[in-house]
């Protein structure tokens, strides 16, 4: 087909533009939080001592790290989903959550005697943590992969891995309200592995699904 | 491009997205001109037709125009799309070379069949751009109609038709080249 002919054909289809991407990302965020909440309250639910836990800094810190991860990954994946955006700052902002966690780990190592480190890190819920953060994150990840398919990521695998971090951040925010292991050592170990699983899944899936 | 042109270019795209057919035509003309210059500058060796990159980019602009932020400059967005499609074209050229060798090796080993085998169809499809591949596979292999395919892929029927024709043209060209080699 001749290029000028192609232009004529395309121009005659100027109507019926799809929804702007920023709107679709907001929907995706809302929908994925709803799905994660549904799965969380159906399968796990809040821990029984939630009211007293809310007064301890370790418990609250889990939410801070997970929420900061979710927000920075949301901003980042939105940027990565459009051609021609400046990607550097968005990617750098992903370092905030790990930095917050690293500071808490350092504080915890000072607070605890060294013979308690290993037991605290392994905790009691490691398998539950790995399984349920991944399961709660799968629904949101699917929503974000669909959104990436609708977008135009310059690097689909990279965008997919950040979508996995975002799904992981949302899943961890919910899971943290169930889990009784509050030590930053536990979080740094098991939450990280679970979120890394989601990021890997996201990268693998997006490199197939989000090509355009 | 001058700053004033950028503002004008953005105005055209905004009008196009709002449904102005004439502005969209003008926008695409100008986009084709810019992408053609970009593709010609970047393609040093043969094997890729710059005009293919121009057409793939125009089609991508059409399908992905909702990814442009209306307050962002158009040119970086446009050139990023062109770059993505150019890299895609290079990647497909690399794959095409491998496939040709694979097919020659296959003809030494086995009998030549008259009709295209599934493997040959798979190979022919593998040389296409992902969008074209989906469309051609849906229509020729799965037997879907144009409108079904459009609905399935979330594309307009025109976009499906364009991708289908270009995909078939690319396959015909490749099979034609191979058959000439045998005779």
Angstroms from B125 CA to nearest CA on chain A: 16
What is the domain range of residue A195? 20-45+56-209
Q: d(Cα A39, Cα B144) in Å, to the nearest integer?
A: 36
Tell whether B60 and B87 lie within a shared domain.
yes
Residue A15 lies in a domain: no
Tell whether B140 and B70 lie within a shared domain.
no
Q: What is the pLDDT of residues A154-185, one digit of tens each?
A: 999 999 999 999 999 999 999 999 999 999 99
Question: Which of helix, strand or coil describes residue B151?
Answer: helix
User: pLDDT tier at B163 (50, 70, 90 boundaries)?
Assistant: confident
Cβ contact A194:A144 at 8 Å: no
Q: What angle do CA A60, A66, A70 make, to 5 degrees?
A: 140
Cβ contact A197:A170 at 8 Å: no
Cα B59 to Cα A3, A62, B155, distances in angstroms: 10, 46, 11
Residue B17 lies in a domain: yes
- pLDDT, residue B101, reads 59
Q: Is the pLDDT of residue B1 over 60?
A: no
What is the domain range of residue B146? 111-183
Q: Which residues make Cβ contacts (< 8 Å) with residue B19, sequence separation at least 6?
A: A14, A15, A17
User: pLDDT tier at A24 (50, 70, 90 boundaries)?
Assistant: very high
Residue A75 lies in a domain: yes
Residue B42 lies in a domain: yes
In which residue are the tokens 């043969």 written? B46
Q: d(Cα A212, Cα A81) in Å, to the nearest integer?
A: 12
Least confident of A23-32, A109-118, A153-162: A109-118
Query: Best interface-test mutation with B: which of A3, A27, A158 has the largest number of B CBs within 10 A?
Result: A3
Number of domains within chain B = 2
Q: d(Cα A157, Cα B12) in Å, to the nearest integer?
A: 32
Number of domains within chain A = 1
CATH assignment at residue B147: 1.10.10.10
Residue A10 lies in a domain: no
Tell whether B85 and B144 lie within a shared domain.
no
Residue that finishes a domain, picked among B63, B92, B121 = B92
Candidates A3, A15, A211; nearest CB to B32: A3
Section B81-97 average pLDDT: 85
Query: Best interface-test mutation with A: which of B10, B67, B160 has the largest number of A CBs within 10 A?
Result: B67
Tell whether B34 and B121 lie within a shared domain.
no
Torsion of CA B88, B92, B95, B97, to 10 degrees: -140
The answer to whether residue A26 neighbours chain B at the CB level (below 8 Å) is no
Cβ contact A171:B83 at 8 Å: no
Cβ contact A152:A212 at 8 Å: yes
The answer to whether residue A8 neighbours chain B at the CB level (below 8 Å) is yes
- Over pLDDT 90: what percentage of chain A? 83
User: pLDDT tier at B153 (50, 70, 90 boundaries)?
Assistant: confident
Tell whether B126 and B86 lie within a shared domain.
no
Q: d(Cα A75, Cα A166) in Å, to the nearest integer?
A: 9
Residue B34 lies in a domain: yes
Residue by residue, DSSP assigns A73-87 as HHHHHHHHTSTT--H
Q: d(Cα A146, Cα B143) in Å, to the nearest integer?
A: 25
Q: d(Cα A183, Cα A180) in Å, to the nearest integer?
A: 9
Tell whether B75 and B141 lie within a shared domain.
no
User: pLDDT tier at B183 (50, 70, 90 boundaries)?
Assistant: very low
Cβ contact B16:B65 at 8 Å: yes
Report the complex ipTM: 0.88
Residue count (chain A): 212
Query: How many residue contacts between A and B have a Cβ separation below 8 Å?
Result: 105
């Amino acid at each position: 087909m001749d290029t000028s002919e192609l232009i004529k054909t395309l121009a005659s289809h100027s109507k019926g533009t799809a929804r702007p991407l920023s709107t679709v990302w907001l929907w995706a965020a809302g929908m994925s939080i709803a799905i994660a909440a549904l799965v969380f309250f159906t399968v796990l639910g809040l821990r029984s001592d939630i009211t007293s836990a809310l007064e301890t800094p370790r418990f609250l810190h889990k939410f801070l790290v997970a929420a900061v991860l979710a927000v920075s990954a949301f901003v980042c994946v939105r940027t990565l989903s459009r051609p021609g955006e400046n990607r550097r700052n968005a990617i750098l902002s992903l370092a905030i959550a790990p930095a917050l966690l690293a500071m808490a780990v350092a504080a915890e190592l000072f607070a605890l005697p060294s013979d308690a480190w290993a037991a605290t890190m392994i905790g009691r819920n490691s398998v539950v943590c790995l399984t349920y953060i991944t399961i709660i994150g799968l629904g949101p990840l699917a929503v974000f992969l669909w959104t990436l398919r609708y977008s135009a990521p310059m690097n689909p695998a990279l965008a997919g891995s950040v979508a996995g971090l975002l799904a992981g951040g949302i899943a961890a925010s919910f899971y943290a309200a169930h889990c009784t292991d509050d030590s930053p050592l536990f979080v740094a170990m098991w939450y990280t592995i679970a979120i890394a699983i989601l990021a890997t899944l996201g990268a693998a899936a997006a490199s197939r699904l989000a090509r355009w | 491009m001058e700053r004033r042109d950028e503002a004008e270019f953005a105005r055209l795209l905004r009008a196009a997205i709002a449904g102005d057919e004439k502005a969209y035509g003008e926008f695409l003309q100008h986009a084709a001109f810019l992408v053609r210059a970009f593709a010609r500058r970047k393609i040093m060796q043969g094997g890729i037709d710059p005009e293919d990159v121009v057409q793939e980019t125009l089609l991508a602009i059409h399908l992905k125009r909702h990814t442009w932020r209306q307050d962002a400059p158009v040119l970086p967005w446009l050139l990023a799309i062109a770059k993505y499609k150019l890299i895609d074209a290079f990647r497909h050229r690399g794959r095409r070379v491998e496939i040709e060798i694979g097919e020659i090796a296959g003809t030494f080993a086995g009998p030549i069949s008259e009709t295209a085998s599934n493997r040959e169809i798979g190979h022919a499809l593998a040389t296409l751009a992902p969008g074209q591949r989906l469309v051609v596979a849906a229509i020729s292999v799965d037997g879907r109609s144009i409108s079904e395919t459009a609905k399935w892929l979330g594309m307009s029927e025109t976009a499906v038709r364009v991708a289908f024709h270009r995909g078939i043209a690319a396959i015909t060209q490749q099979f034609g080249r191979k058959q000439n080699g045998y005779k």
